[in-house]
Amino acid sequence: MQFFVYFTMAEGCQPRPSAPSPEEMAEMAKFHEEAIKSGVIVATGRLSPTTTRVRLEGSEVSITDGPFIEGKEMIPGFSVIELDTKQEAIDWVARYREMIGMPELRMAEIFT
């Protein structure tokens, strides 16, 4: 099962106010390396605050640039993880959330 794990800039979801210590950074790097090698992390990335809307209007395609979401709805970072069960994913996300100092992470199952 794959899950999309993300955080938003909404109140209560923002990253910790200070940078992690060198020891915490080393711990996070080791955690990421192990998760990638084991196949838990499928992909990670950051999303741009700007977007492009592609819309079909009749037979015409219109393209509009902008941000279309409020800043608090923005998803600046994400991971796609793969585990056997939803509970394993919840456990992994809880451990990851604590390690990176985020008050809240969200996850959604990816249906294929």
Residue-wise pLDDT for 53-69, tens only, equals 899 999 999 998 877 66
Task: Quote the CA–CA distance of 72 and 21 in Å, as a whole number.
Answer: 27
According to the model, what pLDDT value does residue 66 have?
78
According to the model, what pLDDT value does residue 50 have?
81
Number of neighbouring beta carbons within 10 Å of residue 30: 10
According to the model, what pLDDT value does residue 2 have?
97
Write the pLDDT tens digit of every residue in 96-107: 888 887 788 889
30: confidence class by pLDDT, cuts 50, 70, 90: very high
Q: Report the amino acid identity of residue 40.
A: V
Task: Quote the CA–CA distance of 61 and 22 in Å, as a whole number.
Answer: 49
Cβ atoms of 2 and 85 within 8 Å: the answer is no
Q: Output the CA–CA distances (angstroms, integers) from residue 112 to 1, 3, 42, in the order listed.
A: 10, 11, 15
According to the model, what pLDDT value does residue 34 have?
93
